[in-house]
């Protein structure tokens, strides 16, 4: 008896010693502190304000009712948003499955089968047809002693929250894309205006040059130069028309409609760039205002929960099972006490040898966490630099507009003076048309700068989060982050 006891003890010791272990496997990624991303010098001299963030309906500040209706139409009909909604619903369903797996399961079944056994297998040696009737109910519950099932549910819930925030990010991106395409449409119309005026000017200049050649004042060289200017003006008019068609097509796609939808659009008004200032603690504030950053942080927390799930698989698993039913062989009544059977008992399982599967799975979860951390850090760095770059670009364009306005004023005055000289008989009209060309060029540069100013304003709005306000999600992420630090050290 003692030999049997000793052998059992030795066997148990060897089994436990050979159990798979998670030792030595851990993630290496660490979340970047937003305060480490300095932007004070890049934003030096810029007014800062804690109330600088765009509003939810930021596009109304651009001052165009048609744009307001187009963004509302795009948010309602664009197919890409339906895809984002479907992904969010899919993630929510996965969280529901993970939550359901935490509870017990109850199953039931019944069957009736008939068979004719050969004489060699039949009792008494005579072959006859018999029925087997069977009915049962079972209960099983895997106890979550180490919190693995809860962690799996929390991981799925984190992914669902990230998908929900991705849905909001898709709406922000769509609204800014509509505004930018609408801005391009307005600039294309301005290009067309200048191209038409330039073509008219070039034709007048050529007519005058032709008359001067006939009078022997100018040569064929001047006439050919005039022909070249007319051809260039015609080409620019075609380019402007194509730009209008392209902008209409882009808007049709964003609205989720066919190409004819763009043909119904009226000419945009001159949009007003939105005035925004940047908060002092830029990187920290971006974490709570940009949907992509909040979603990335939720994915980091979900990955940390997956690590806990993988670690609990190394530990003993305890489950409780029960089964009861009725079984009858032959033609008698199934529902009698003598046909009943049942079983009840707990079960324990412990991984001893699996060829390295559990360790490889844990290593994969660690790598997934490191990837999520790297993606979050990358998003944070890109977001901070994007805001600073967009803001500085916007400031640069504003300075260019101020300089171009002085050039435009000077060109306007020069045209007025040349026109007055011609009417007073001091100068000729061809000289005045040359000055007119300089004015049109100045007007074209100003239209391009004003369009760029509005476009950069919209880009800055998107970089600041587009009016997204995830205060509740940010608090939940912070709480989850605090709890996950201790869990990853298990």
pLDDT at res. 259: 92
CB neighbours of 316 closer than 8 A, spacing ≥ 6?
Answer: 145, 348, 349, 350
pLDDT of residue 40: 58
Which of 234, 263, 268 is closest to 248 using CA atoms? 263
Phi, psi angles (nearest 5°) of residue 329: -105, 110
d(CA 225, CA 178): 42
Identify which of 462, 377, 427, 423 has the alpha carbon closest to the alpha carbon of residue 29.
377
Query: What strands lie across the sheet with 105-116, from one edge to the other?
Result: 105-116, 129-143, 317-329, 340-349
Tokens 């109304």 -> residue: 60
Answer yes or no: are the C-beta atoms of 364 and 303 closer than 8 Å.
Answer: no
Q: Give residue-wise pLDDT tens across range 352-399.
A: 777 888 889 889 989 999 999 999 999 999 988 888 888 889 889 999
Integer Cα distance of 269 and 67 in angstroms: 9
Per-residue pLDDT of the chain (490 residues; tens, 9 = 90+): 454 554 454 444 444 444 566 666 777 777 777 666 665 555 555 554 545 567 888 898 888 999 999 999 999 999 989 899 999 999 999 888 888 888 888 898 888 877 666 666 555 556 666 677 778 888 888 888 888 889 989 999 999 999 999 999 999 999 999 999 999 999 999 999 999 998 988 888 888 878 877 877 777 887 888 888 889 889 999 999 999 999 999 999 999 999 999 999 999 988 888 766 666 667 777 777 889 999 999 999 999 999 999 888 888 888 888 888 888 776 667 777 777 788 887 888 778 777 888 889 889 989 999 999 999 999 999 988 888 888 889 889 999 999 999 999 999 998 888 888 877 777 777 788 888 889 999 999 999 999 999 999 899 889 888 888 765 554 555 444 444 444 444 4
Beta-carbon count within 10 A of 126 CB: 8
- Distance (Å, rounded) from C-alpha 306 to C-alpha 299? 10
Short-list 392, 342, 381, 365, CA closest to 487? 365
pLDDT of residue 272: 83
* Domains identified in the chain and CATH numbers: 28-115+128-488 (1.20.1600.10)
The pLDDT value recorded for residue 17 is 44
Which residues have CB under 8 Å from 472's CB, separation 6+?
Answer: none
pLDDT score for 277: 65
Burial of 318 (0-12, 13-18, 19+ CB in 10 A): middle
Q: Vertex 471, ends 291 and 365: CA angle to 5°?
A: 55
Nearest-angstrom CA–CA distance, 381 and 279: 16
pLDDT, residue 443, reads 92
- List, in sequence order, every residue forming a beta bridge with 108; answer none if it has no partner: 137
CB-based contacts of 194, cutoff 8 Å, min separation 6? 236, 240, 440, 443, 444, 447
């Amino acid at each position: 008896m003692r030999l049997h006891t000793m052998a059992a003890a030795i066997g148990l010791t060897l089994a436990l010693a050979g159990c798979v272990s998670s030792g030595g496997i851990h993630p290496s990624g660490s979340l970047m502190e937003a305060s480490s991303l300095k932007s004070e010098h890049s934003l030096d001299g810029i007014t800062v304000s804690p109330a600088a963030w765009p509003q939810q309906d930021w596009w109304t500040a651009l001052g165009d009712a048609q744009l307001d209706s187009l963004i509302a139409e795009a948010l309602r009909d664009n197919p890409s948003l339906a895809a984002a909604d479907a992904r969010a619903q899919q993630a929510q369903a996965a969280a529901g499955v993970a939550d359901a797996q935490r509870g017990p399961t109850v199953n039931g079944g019944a069957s009736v089968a008939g068979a004719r056994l050969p004489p060699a297998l039949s009792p008494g040696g005579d072959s006859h047809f018999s029925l087997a009737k069977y009915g049962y109910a079972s209960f099983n519950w895997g106890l979550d002693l180490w919190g693995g099932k809860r962690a799996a549910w929390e991981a799925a819930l984190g992914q669902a929250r990230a998908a929900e925030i991705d849905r909001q990010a898709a709406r922000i991106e769509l609204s800014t894309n509509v505004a930018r395409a609408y801005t391009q449409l307005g600039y294309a119309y301005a290009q067309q205006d200048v191209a038409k005026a330039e073509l008219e000017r070039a034709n007048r200049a050529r007519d005058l040059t032709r008359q001067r050649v006939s009078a022997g004042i100018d040569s064929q060289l001047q006439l050919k130069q005039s022909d070249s200017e007319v051809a260039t003006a015609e080409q620019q008019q075609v380019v402007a028309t194509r730009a209008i068609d392209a902008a209409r097509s882009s808007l049709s796609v964003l609205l989720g409609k066919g190409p004819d939808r763009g043909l119904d659009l009226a000419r945009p008004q001159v949009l007003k760039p939105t005035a925004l200032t940047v908060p002092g603690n830029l990187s920290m504030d971006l974490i709570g205002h940009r949907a992509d950053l909040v979603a990335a942080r939720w994915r980091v927390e979900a990955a940390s929960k997956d690590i806990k799930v993988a670690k609990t698989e190394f530990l003993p698993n305890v489950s409780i099972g029960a089964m009861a039913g009725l079984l009858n062989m032959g033609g008698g009544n199934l529902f009698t006490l003598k046909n009943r059977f049942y079983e009840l008992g707990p079960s324990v399982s412990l991984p001893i040898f699996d060829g390295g599967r559990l360790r490889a799975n844990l290593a994969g979860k660690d790598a997934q966490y490191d990837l999520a951390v790297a993606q979050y850090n990358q998003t944070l760095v890109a977001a901070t630099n994007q805001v600073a770059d967009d803001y500085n670009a916007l400031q640069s364009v504003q300075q260019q507009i101020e300089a171009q306005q002085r050039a435009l004023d000077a060109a306007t005055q020069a045209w007025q003076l040349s026109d007055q000289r011609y009417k007073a008989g001091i100068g000729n009209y061809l000289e005045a048309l040359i000055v007119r060309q300089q004015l049109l060029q100045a007007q074209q540069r100003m239209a391009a700068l004003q369009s760029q100013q509005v476009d950069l304003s919209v880009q800055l709005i998107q970089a600041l989060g587009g009016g997204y306000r995830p205060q509740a999600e940010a608090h939940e992420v912070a709480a989850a982050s605090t709890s996950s630090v201790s869990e990853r050290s298990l």
